[in-house]
Structure formats: structure tokens, C-alpha cells
Structure 1
Amino acid sequence: MRIGELARRCNVSTRALRYYEEQQLLTPGRHPNGYRDYPESAVETVRRIRTLLDAGFNADTIRIVLPCLNGDDVDMCPQVAAAIRDTLHGIDEQLRDLETKRGRITALLAGRQL
């Protein structure tokens, strides 16, 4: 299928699909005229990419995790487990930072100094 059809079926922009290709997350074939040609399996691949992005993974981590997804299961090899742990650690850091910011804003609302 061509890029426009894949974009419609996955409810993403063609720009996003080109980005996924640039990040080596999605690899289309090419017609002789240069048009991208995606297999039917690309629909599921894009849905998995979107799910991983929504979960907070970056493209580098998705590149590691994506080949290890098998339906609803993940082949939890040491490299994949480490990548997932690193992402979770980053999210924990962001939560701590947000909690600090929340405390400062709450203090301001209460009329206290920072």
C-alpha cells in the first residue's frame, strides 16, 4: 500500500510515517517510480510504534524494543529489559521534577516564598 493509505488506516500523518522511516522504525519497499510500498503488516507496526511513543519511549529505544514484540508479548532479553528500565528511570526523574515544581507553585498560591 502507498503512504497515504497507510496514514489513513493508522490515523497518522504521512510526515510521521516518513519520520518513522528516517528513524529506521519502519522500512517500506519501493516501486520503480520511487513510491513507497508498505506491506499489510505495516499497519500493526505503526500501531505498535504509536503505543510505544505514547508510553514514553524514544525512537532509539523503540528501535531496540520493536523487533522483540510478539503479539502482546515481549521477548525480554537483557538488552530490551535494560532499555525499558532506562525509560522508566527517565519517567521517574520527570515525576520527581514535576513534584518539585508543583510544590513551588502551591507555595506561591499559599502566599509563601519559594
Structure 2
Amino acid sequence: MKIGDLAAKTGVAPRLLRYYEEVGILHPFRTGNGYRTYGEPAIDRVLQIRELLETGFTTEMIREVLPCLEAAKEETPAPACPTVKDLDGLRHQLSSIERRIDVLQRNRNAIERYLRAWEDALAAAPTAADGIPGPVAE
């Protein structure tokens, strides 16, 4: 697929995809006329890059860790990865991800409880068909 197709499938602008190539975290194939082409695995790679950036990884850290993450998908346990030079930084990022997961889970649980309570209140409330107006939706 061409860069525009990859951009459409991932929601990432072509300019940013070219930047990912420039910093060495995305590797397109080049056709004879110099056009960039990407295989289907590039979709997952771009999405993973976006997720890592959102969790605070720098492009330098992503360049180091991506080969390790790909190897870890294929092997259990994951092999030692010589491309990662800053293990303390990686540990810090892992802690940050774990904190975000905790916050997201707490928020998800609170929203689920709120929705359940609202749905229970709607189900238990008399309706207009009973001659009594029900609760007003916010």
C-alpha cells in the first residue's frame, strides 16, 4: 500500500509517517520509481508507535525497544534485547504505563457503576404510560 493508504488506515498523517521513517522507526519498501510502499504489518507497527508515544516514549526509545517488542511477540519468555541501552528509562516507562492502566481501570469501573445505577433507576421509575413522568435524562 502507498503512504496515503497507510495514513488513511492508521489516522496518522503522511508527513508524520515520513518522519517515522526519518528517525528509523518505520521502514517502507521503495519501488523502482522511489515511491514508498508498505506491507500490512506496517498498520500494526504505526499503531504501536502511536501508543508508545502516547505513553511517553521518545522516538529514540521506540527505535531501541521496537525490535525487542516484536521478538517478544514471537518468543516466550522474551529474549534479552541488546538494542535497549537505557533499562532504567524502560523501567520508568513501564511504571508510567502501569499507573495509566490503574487510572483507566478506576475510571472505567466508576463509569460502569454510574451507568448501572442510572439504568437501574430508569428501569425502576414509573413511566409516562403509568401517568407519572419518569426521570429526565441529562
TM-score by length of 2: 0.56
Greater fraction strand: 1
Aligned to 1:23: 23
Pairwise CA RMSD = 2.7
Q: Structure 1 residues 80 and 43 mapped into 2: Cα distance closer, same or farther (>3 Å)?
A: farther
- The structure having more radius of gyration, on CA atoms, is 2
Task: Could you tell me which runs of 5 or more consecutive residues in structure 1 were left unpaired when the two chains were aligned.
Answer: 92-114
| CA spacing shift, 1:12–1:74, aligned 2, 3 Å | farther
CA distance in 2, matches of 1:75, 1:47: 21
Residue of structure 2 equivalent to 1:11 = 11
Which letter does structure 2 place at the counterpart of 1:20? Answer: Y
Q: 1:23 to 1:74 in 2, by over 3 A?
A: farther
Counterparts of 1:45-56 in structure 2, within 5 Å, are: 45-56=45-56
Query: Equivalents in 1 of 2:41, 2:77: separation in Å?
Result: 18
1:34 and 2:34 correspond: yes
Distance 2:54 2:66 in 1: 14
Q: Are positions 1:75 and 2:75 aligned together?
A: no
Q: 1:53 to 1:37 in 2, by over 3 A?
A: same
Normalization by structure 1: what TM-score? 0.67
| Structure 2 residue ranges without an equivalent (≥5) | 97-138
Percent identical pairs in the alignment equals 44
Greater relative contact order (Cα 8 A, min sep 6): structure 1 or 2?
1
Residues in 1 aligned to 2:79 and 2:55: alpha-carbon distance in whole angstroms = 17
Deviates more, 1:42-51 or 1:76-85: 76-85
The alpha-carbon deviation at position 77 of structure 1 amounts to 3.1
